């Protein structure tokens, strides 16, 4: 759902109900992540009880396969899942913005090469490549971030390039070039600020994507087994037979709902921002 370059009529100042709902969801999750040491009942790394306890007063969501408190795991899991989401999205947007600006600004063969690469990345079957890459690089926190980063950058690159094409032809940019500004300087000083809002919306959407990918990779056993992300909680629940023993109610459902909440939060926020920051709406402002 890239920003189509068609006239965009409904002009709002707020984010809309869905947008605010998204911000609220994210806010709750982010504060849980930040305040984890204060709000979580136990240290998630610590063995606090017998393994496989059912929910009770001491452990609201029971304990996992080695006697760690599942609720605490989930609260701390917000840190890892959100961090991976943000860092991977930052990496993806970093690549995407650079590629988009360079391609859009220079045109010619640079654009041809870069944009065909983008097309290539976009048509590669996503899931198999992701599994292959993750298996090849090996399960670690940073490898997951790299895998997500190199897979998610293509769409933002496209969207940003189209915005660059628009900005490039604006008078002030042309003036800067006519005055002999070096390309790098023009790109950084004039083009980059103009595409940043769009990059921000894309960033939020990429983060939503990244959290989902991290959870899938972790669930498939391709994540870092010592990092307590939501996906990893799901992985252990699955391999220790939560689906067979009935433990799925407190071991699978909660992390699943949290992943849904985070993805939804990001998606709502992202769509609202995208709508709000659509290039057509920014016509007279800012420059």
Partner 1 sequence: MRVLTFILTAVLLILSVSVPSPGQTASLRMAIGRDEGSLNPYTYQTGYPGWNLMTLIYEPLFTPDADNIPQPWLVRRYSVSPDGRTWTLTLHPNIKWHDGRPLTADDVKFTYEYVRRHAHSRWTSQVRLIDSIETAGATTLTIRLTAQSGGFLMQPLAALPILPRHIWEGVAEPRRFNDSIGSGPYRLAEMRDGQFYRLVANDAYFGGRPKVRELVLPIIRDATVTFTALKAGEIDTTVRALSPELVTEFEKAGGLKVVRGAGYASTILQFNLEHPILKDVKLRQAIANAINTRLMVRLLLLGYGVVGSPGYIHPDSPFYNAAVTFTASKSRAVQILNEAGYVDRDRDGIRDTPDGRPLRFNLLTLAGNPIRVRGADLIRTWLRDIGIDARVVAQEDASIIAQVWPDFDVCKGRNFDMAVFGWSAPVMNRATSLRDLFHSDCRFGTINIGGYKSAEVDRLGNELAAAVAPAKQKQVLFEMQKVIAADVPVHVLFYLDGIYAYRPDKHDAWVYQKGQGIVNKLSFIDPPKR
Contacts with partner 1, residue ranges (CB under 8 A) = 45, 47, 51-52, 65-67, 135, 138-140, 221-222, 224-226, 236, 238-241, 243-246
Short-list 251, 259, 269, 206, CA closest to 231: 259
- Give me the least distance between CB of 139 and partner 1, in Å please: 5
Q: Among residues 239 and 287, whose Cβ is nearest to partner 1? A: 239
Residue with tokens 């190199």: 150
- Give me the least distance between CB of 97 and partner 1, in Å please: 33
Q: Among residues 173 and 247, whose Cβ is nearest to partner 1? A: 247
- Give me the least distance between CB of 229 and partner 1, in Å please: 14
- Give me the least distance between CB of 2 and partner 1, in Å please: 37
Q: Among residues 224 and 275, whose Cβ is nearest to partner 1? A: 224
Q: Among residues 31 and 43, whose Cβ is nearest to partner 1? A: 43
- Give me the least distance between CB of 67 and partner 1, in Å please: 6
Q: Are 135 and 162 in contact (CB under 8 A)?
A: no
Q: Are 231 and 169 in contact (CB under 8 A)?
A: no
Q: Among residues 63 and 278, whose Cβ is nearest to partner 1? A: 63
């Amino acid at each position: 759902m890239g920003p189509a370059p068609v006239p965009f009529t409904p002009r709002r100042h707020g984010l809309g109900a869905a947008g605010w709902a998204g911000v609220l969801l994210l806010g709750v999750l982010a504060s849980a992540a930040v305040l984890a040491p204060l709000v979580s009942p136990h240290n998630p790394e610590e063995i606090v009880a017998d393994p496989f306890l059912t929910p009770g007063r001491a452990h609201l969501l029971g304990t996992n396969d080695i006697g760690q408190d599942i609720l605490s795991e989930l609260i701390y899991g917000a840190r890892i899942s959100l961090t991976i989401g943000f860092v991977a999205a930052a990496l993806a947007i970093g690549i995407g913005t650079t590629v988009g600006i360079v391609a859009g600004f220079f045109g010619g063969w640079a654009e041809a090469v870069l944009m065909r690469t983008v097309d290539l990345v976009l048509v590669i079957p996503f899931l198999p490549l992701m599994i292959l890459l993750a298996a090849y690089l090996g399960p670690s926190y940073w490898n997951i971030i790299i895998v997500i980063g190199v897979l998610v950058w293509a769409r933002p690159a496209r969207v940003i390039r189209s915005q660059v094409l628009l900005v490039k032809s604006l008078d002030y940019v042309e003036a800067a070039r006519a005055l002999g500004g070096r390309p790098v300087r023009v790109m950084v000083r004039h083009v980059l600020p103009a595409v940043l809002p769009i990059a921000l919306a894309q960033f939020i959407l990429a983060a939503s994507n990244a959290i989902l990918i991290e959870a899938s990779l972790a669930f498939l056993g391709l994540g870092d087994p010592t990092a307590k992300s939501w996906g990893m909680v799901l992985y252990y629940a699955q391999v220790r037979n939560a689906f067979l023993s009935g433990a799925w109610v407190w071991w699978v459902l909660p992390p699943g709902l949290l992943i849904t909440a985070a993805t939804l939060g990001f998606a709502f926020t992202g769509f609202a921002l995208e709508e709000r920051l659509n290039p057509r709406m920014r016509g007279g402002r800012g420059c």
